[in-house]
Amino acid sequence: MNKSIKPLQNTSILPWESSTTIEAAEPRLPGVSIVMPVYNAGTFIEKTIRSLMLNDLSGCEVILMDGGSTDDTVSIANHYKKLFTKIVSERDEGQSDAINKGFAISTKPILYWLNGDDIILPNTLVKVRREFASRSNADIVVGNAYMTELDFSPIRHFKFPPECLRFEYLLNYAQNHLVQPSVFFSQRAWKACGPVKKDLHYAMDADLFIGMSRKFEMISMDLDIAYSVYHEECKTRGKRAESIVELAMVQAAHGGMTECKNTLNVLVSEFNELKKRFDSNEYSGAAIEILNSRIAAMERDWKKNIELAMRAKILEE
């Protein structure tokens, strides 16, 4: 892909563009279907698109799934229309629905999604494709990633050695989470563990990756793949309480009742901290009591289902 497409805004030029030489992908490499689920991403999406341009996309496809944006998201994408295999702009049921629709029309053996405010680093795509090609058992490849500020200054560097990619470790996802734009997976893994649940709006990736780690080996790749950009409009930043509760429900659904309760305790601690900050004695623990009663009910149901499964010899004792 020619990286010479002129930007609509000079502020969207990435700091490393002028110094990057794009590494060519060998023709034998497996292709990647890259799905971009976006909605009103006009503030950030041009940088995301330009980060893709700093990778050789030959043999790959890029599918934009826009949820009917009312800003300039689609016009920006159309400026780069040569980059995209398909641009879909229609109302959907949220990010999870957009991801599912994008992967449903994908044709390549490796799958990846890139949100409209994240960055894939230069020449990482070809290296990931080589990793898949070199391993017959490759179904999920996980690289390293940075969480950054809007100006790409690092907040935290995430590394994922093999011991961090086991099911038992990832079940404690609040503490041991992956960084979604550094994870690639096969069509086989997606068909076994997907699609992502449409009723999940914050923890759909946690649910998918925890499920995948139970069924497949996750391969660690010591390569910085992506920047996950943290900003005021991030869903998990603006709706932190909702995202914590949703993650807890996901952990419970995978059998992690202790991990679920620990995640909810994070919310309790944050509420208590707010109480101290505002010096108020009016806060009621009723909401937390309701959540805990929901967890207790889910725990009873989960244990009951395990018992029934064992009786039916679905699970070994």
pLDDT digits (tens, 9 = 90+) for 54-111: 999 999 999 999 999 999 999 999 999 999 999 999 999 999 999 999 999 999 999 9
Task: Specify the DSSP element, H or E, that contains 157.
Answer: strand 154-158
Q: Which two tokens stand for residue 202?
A: 């914050």
Q: Decide if pLDDT at 251 tops 60.
A: yes
Alpha helices in 31-107 (DSSP H): 45-53, 73-79, 95-104
Report which of 95, 47, 54 is spatially closest to residue 73, judged by C-alpha positions: 47
> What radius of gyration do the chain's Cα atoms show?
21
Residue 210 near residue 177 (C-beta atoms within 8 A): no
Q: What sign has the CA pseudo-torsion 203, 204, 206, 207? A: positive
**Helix 240-253 crosses helix 257-278 at what angle (to 10 degrees)?**
160
pLDDT digits (tens, 9 = 90+) for 106-162: 999 999 999 999 999 999 999 999 999 999 889 999 999 999 999 999 999 999 999
Q: How far is CA 290 from CA 260, 282, 299, in A?
A: 14, 18, 14
pLDDT for position 241: 76
Q: 307: exposed, middle or buried (C-beta count within 10 Å: 0-12, 13-18, 19+)?
A: exposed
Q: What sign has the CA pseudo-torsion 162, 166, 172, 173? A: positive
pLDDT digits (tens, 9 = 90+) for 259-287: 988 988 887 776 666 556 554 444 456 66
pTM of the model: 0.86
Q: Which residue matches tokens 């909702």? A: 242
pLDDT for position 309: 43
pLDDT for position 302: 53
Task: Specify the DSSP element, H or E, that contains 54.
Answer: none
**Helix 204-215 crosses helix 240-253 at what angle (to 10 degrees)?**
20
pLDDT for position 203: 95
Q: What does the alpha-carbon distance between residue 108 and residue 59 come to, in Å, rounded to a whole number?
A: 8
Q: Which two tokens stand for residue 55?
A: 């990778």
Q: What does the alpha-carbon distance between residue 212 and residue 26 come to, in Å, rounded to a whole number?
A: 29
Count of Cβ atoms closer than 10 Å to residue 116 Cβ: 24
Residue 122 near residue 204 (C-beta atoms within 8 A): no
Query: For 22-49, what is the mean pLDDT?
Result: 97
